[in-house]
Amino acid sequence: MISGPLVEDTLYGRFSVDYRKTDGWFYNNYRQTDDELNDAKEWSVNGRLLWEVNDKLTVDTKLRYSEYEGGSIAFNAAFALPLFEAFIGPDAFIDVNEQDFVFSPNVTSPNKNNNTEISVKADYDLDWGTLSAWVLHADMEDGYIADGTSGSFGFFFDEATCIQTAMETAGFPVQSPGILTGDPNTSVWTPFSPSTCDGFQYNEHNQTDTSFQVSLTSGADQRLRWQTGIYFLDLERYVGVSQQRDDGRDNLPRNFSTDLVEALLLDTFNTDVWAVFGSINYDITDTLEASVALRYDRESRSVTSHVPSPSQQTSTYIDPCNDPAFGIGGCTLDGVPIEGSPLNPAYFVDFSTGVLRDSIPDRSEDFSEWQPKVSLAWNASENWTFFGSWGIGFKSGGFNNSGTSETVEYFLVEPGIPLGSFLLTPPGIYEKETSSSYELGFRSTLADGRLSLDGAVFYTDIDDMQFFEFYVGSFGLLRVVENIDRASLQGYELGATAYLTDNFSLSAAYSAVDGEIKEFALRTNTVGNEIPSAAEYTINVTAQYVQPLSSGMDFFTRVDYSRVGPTWFHAVQDDQVAATLQGLPASIGTDLSRSQRDAYGLFNVRVGLEAEKWRASVFANNATDEDFLGEVLVVPEFGGSFVHPGSLSERFIGVEFDYRFF
């Protein structure tokens, strides 16, 4: 990084280049390489110009460009089917924390991502206040290929390449309880296999957005202080999710316009946001401050599908129109029979009769909300401050990919009804999320500033809480936003920082959260369960020691410890549900009592020397080499979860050197 004045007292600049590369540490035992699954190569350039035009006006411009390429998928399936435990061993009903990871995909999984961001911010001093404005433009392109998850559904078993690669990989070791017999029909399939029988997936997420904000803020040195402003955002997202046939070629296509596509979700999402906001802070007395804030957001959202119609392209492998299990007996478009099935179930007018339409209708919806907030702060003494607040939070609703609801309904909900499944069809539109939050807390400074304490308790009621759910089936892998109708969160936070000597400091923070699902129409059996992805507690402790040396340098060492409590990742938790895709009713189906991630703790250590212009250090992240799970993607109707190791689940040791030129 280089920074400093370009024109004395007027123009300042900063330029930095960052490059990072790792081969990763997961081993692909089929391709016999350790540099494909979680490898990463990233570089970025950052520039900044700060122009002090005169005593009243400053203009701050920032530019960033980055490119990333690395592994995208490193999951194993953790099965939760106790019925099969007696037949195929304990890995049919495994604790997710005890997963013995084996990676053997035949498809490499490169994720490519490019980002460009440019922003300009201007502040003008009006003597009695400040006029501020900023504009930001960002462009992102992201896409990845990965092996498929659907070998066990058998829709490629008659394809020549599948038959050939199944024979070639007979007996190859894969994650338990998978067994490759050489015959697609008799093998026990686990996801991401070394054959082509599970196909591959290609996904894209491209986004362009432009936003600006203008605000007017009063001076800070007065009893009544205020701010008001407006905000605008224009955003376009292009999102595609595909299940494709693997024909064995070395370089599989990174697009949706090939005859390998067998199932496809592909949409453009447009969002326009307008917001106005304002706040007032008033010193009631010298020790008591009251604040009132209000914001209004209005979002207009729309979605347009780009999936080829049945008159343009169909699938003859993922083919419910002609699958005897669905009993349709062939599909028709405008009264004329077609070969195969549409790439997206949204083309069905009537699934039971196979009547199709030739287009997927566009959808649009507006979402809006007033968001007031009231707070009070009391400086009880020089050392103690107490505060409290109440406010309304808002997260806009939106649309899932076109065809999502139909896919879940036709492939999971309707087949699950005879099995006693609790699952209902998620709507194509998810509702806005609103919350009402209360907080009480304190801050203090003691022992002549050498000890600081802070703490707070909070309670939040949430309506239509947005929750990401994953569905797996012969359609591939779907990521769906749903609404938990009512939920609550409560907890507390405590923190402390102590300067024990002039050289040694210690800080610690602890937070605990208790969340509860109070109403969830799509999965009524989950009422009373914990809120997904909310750890029971988190702990952070930092110890730092700095010793000045006679040569003008400082020796320093820092130790950080963080601990994350047990975490459920799905609304279905200590529950047993129908394993619809395995044909098992709820009484003997998926038992997810072993799908909670255990608590884990990480130590990071850094030791080094620092002078006026340079700093050198040696560091170790996850110094104790702690194993932990990064995420657990629970898929109840599939019969288990998809799990992957944490990104820091291996010890990482490195050296850093910084030099300041100015």
| Amino acid at the residue 60 | D
pLDDT at res. 378: 97
**Among residues 651, 649, 622, 628, which one has the least CA distance to residue 559?**
622
Lowest mean pLDDT among 292-296, 424-428, 435-439: 424-428
Angle CA 43–48–54, to nearest 5 = 180
**Among residues 405, 404, 400, which one has the least CA distance to residue 365?**
400
Q: How many CB atoms lie within 10 A of CB 170?
A: 14
Please compute the mean of the pLDDT values over residues 142-150 and round it to a whole number. Answer: 89
pLDDT at 270 over 90: yes
Return d(Cα 489, Cα 387) in angstroms, integer.
20
Half-sphere exposure of residue 284: CA atoms within 13 angstroms, side-chain side:
11
Percent of the chain with pLDDT over 90: 75
Specify burial of residue 152 (Cβ count, 10 A radius: 0-12, 13-18, 19+): buried
pLDDT at 650 over 90: no
pLDDT at res. 649: 67
Alpha-carbon separation of residue 197 from 57, 114, 245, 303, 432 (angstroms):
64, 32, 8, 33, 40
DSSP reduced 3-state for 521:
helix
Please name the helix (run of DSSP H) or strand (run of DSSP E) that holds residue 163, with its range, or none.
helix 160-168
Percent of the chain with pLDDT over 70: 99
Question: Which residue pairs from 513-516 have beta carbons closer than 8 angstroms and sit at least 24 positions apart in sequence?
Answer: 513/489, 513/537, 514/489, 514/490, 515/487, 515/488, 515/489, 515/490, 516/487, 516/488
User: In sequence order, what are the residues at sequence separation of 6 or more whose Cβ sits closer than 8 angstroms to the Cβ of residue 213?
Assistant: 132, 133, 134, 229, 230, 231, 232
pLDDT at 306 over 80: yes
- For residue range 318-377, what is the model confidence (pLDDT) as tens digits? 999 998 888 899 999 999 999 999 999 999 999 889 999 999 999 999 999 999 999 999
Q: How many CB atoms lie within 10 A of CB 372?
A: 12
pLDDT at res. 2: 82
Q: What are 469's two structure tokens?
A: 């759910």
DSSP reduced 3-state for 151:
helix
pLDDT at 661 over 70: no
Please compute the mean of the pLDDT values over residues 424-451 and round it to a whole number. Answer: 94
Return d(Cα 522, Cα 395) in angstroms, integer.
20
pLDDT at res. 396: 96
- Name the average pLDDT for the chain: 92
Q: What are 311's two structure tokens?
A: 């008159």
Alpha-carbon separation of residue 262 from 206, 259, 400 (angstroms):
22, 8, 20
Q: How many CB atoms lie within 10 A of CB 524?
A: 11
Specify burial of residue 167 (Cβ count, 10 A radius: 0-12, 13-18, 19+): middle
User: In sequence order, what are the residues at sequence separation of 6 or more whose Cβ sits closer than 8 angstroms to the Cβ of residue 520?
Assistant: 484, 485, 526, 527, 571
Please give the model's pTM, rounded to 2 decimal places. Answer: 0.91
Q: How many CB atoms lie within 10 A of CB 590?
A: 30
Half-sphere exposure of residue 62: CA atoms within 13 angstroms, side-chain side:
13
Q: What is the DSSP string of 109-121?
A: -EEEEEEEEEEEE
